[in-house]
Amino acid sequence: MTTKRYLLIILILSFFCMSCESKKTATEQNKQVCVKMETTMGNIVVKLYNETPAHRDNFVKLVKEGYYDGTLFHRVINQFMIQGGDGDSRNAKPGQQLGMGDPGYTIPAEFVYPKYFHKKGALAAARQGDQVNPEKASSGSQFYIVTGNVIPEGQIGQFERQLQMQQEQNVFNTLVAAHREEIMNMRRNRDQAGLQALQEQLINETRQQVAREGAFTLTPEQKAAYTTVGGAPHLDGAYTVFGEVVEGMDVVEKIEKVETDRADRPVADVRVISMKIVEE
């Protein structure tokens, strides 16, 4: 066999191996991670979205470290959501206020909206409010699972208009916060004319920003979900949705109905026994 022919065979084999490796990599990238939550009220399995890689990888990291093992669902609101992931809840005393525990870092928001939204069963990241967190960065560990309400089909248009008004109010509040010092000075000086002028300016800026971003509208997929299975559409576009329940929604529904105290903490602890990766 000639040297040229040897080289040709080697090149063909190399190309074939590279092609196989590329296909393998693409297949690996398309795999979705699932996590099994074993709780004192039953098991829940969630699927994590690849389109939110920072949240997916962080959740997997904490699961493998055992961070969630022994923690509580510390905030439960019937027909809204169940929330967990507070590291301080692991050894919490009865009646102890919870909700501030985390690993000491946040995760940049990863909004994949409107593809992923707050339908019933959505897994999303909790976070601090816009006043102290205008970038909407997620908690490093706290999460919630949506239960929500079903919106009657005849009311979906009205609800959409309410969300648009909320959008405008949120933009206006953010602009007001940016001018807080200026507003305080005007109030101290009793400059009513200045306050009125600034208010009109911020209203105009709000309208311009909403026009640039586009008024909030529900997609056909959202409308179909919210009028059938339900959810929490008022949270859409404001919190990162990074997965969904694929098994054990009946367990989530049992948890949401437990008796709670004034701080929405279950009177009888609902605990995560362990979390495990069940598919990668």
How do residues 105-164 score in pLDDT, each as one tens digit? Answer: 999 999 999 999 999 999 999 999 988 898 999 999 999 999 999 999 999 988 888 888
Q: Tens digit of pLDDT for each residue in 24-70? A: 333 345 688 999 999 999 999 999 999 999 999 999 999 999 999 99
Q: Tens digit of pLDDT for each residue in 227-258? A: 999 999 999 989 999 999 999 999 999 999 99
What mean pLDDT comes out for the span 87-106?
Answer: 94
For the stretch 51-57, contacts whose Cβ atoms lie closer than 8 Å and that sit 24 or more positions apart, written own/partner, are 51/110, 51/112, 51/115, 51/116, 52/110, 52/112, 52/116, 52/240, 52/241, 52/242, 52/243, 53/110, 54/107, 54/108, 54/110, 55/107, 55/110, 55/125, 55/138, 55/240, 55/242, 56/242, 56/243
Q: What's the chain's average pLDDT?
A: 89
Global pTM value: 0.81
Fold (CATH) for 32-150+229-279: Cyclophilin (2.40.100)
Residue 246, SS3 per DSSP: strand
Q: Could you report how far apart the first and last alpha carbons of the chain are, in Å? A: 46
Q: Tens digit of pLDDT for each residue in 174-233? A: 899 889 999 999 999 999 999 999 999 999 999 999 898 888 889 999 999 999 999 999
- Residue 138 near residue 125 (C-beta atoms within 8 A): yes
* pLDDT of amino acid 213: 83
- Residue 1 near residue 10 (C-beta atoms within 8 A): no
Whole-angstrom Cα distance, residue 74 to residue 94?
11
Whole-angstrom Cα distance, residue 125 to residue 19?
38
Selected residue with higher pLDDT from 6 and 245: 245
Dihedral sign, CA of 105, 72, 245, 80? negative
Q: Where are the domains of the chain?
A: 32-150+229-279, 156-213
Ramachandran angles phi, psi of 27, nearest 5°: -65, -45
Dihedral sign, CA of 116, 122, 126, 132? positive
Is residue 188 within a helix (H) or strand (E), and if so which, with residue range? helix 180-188
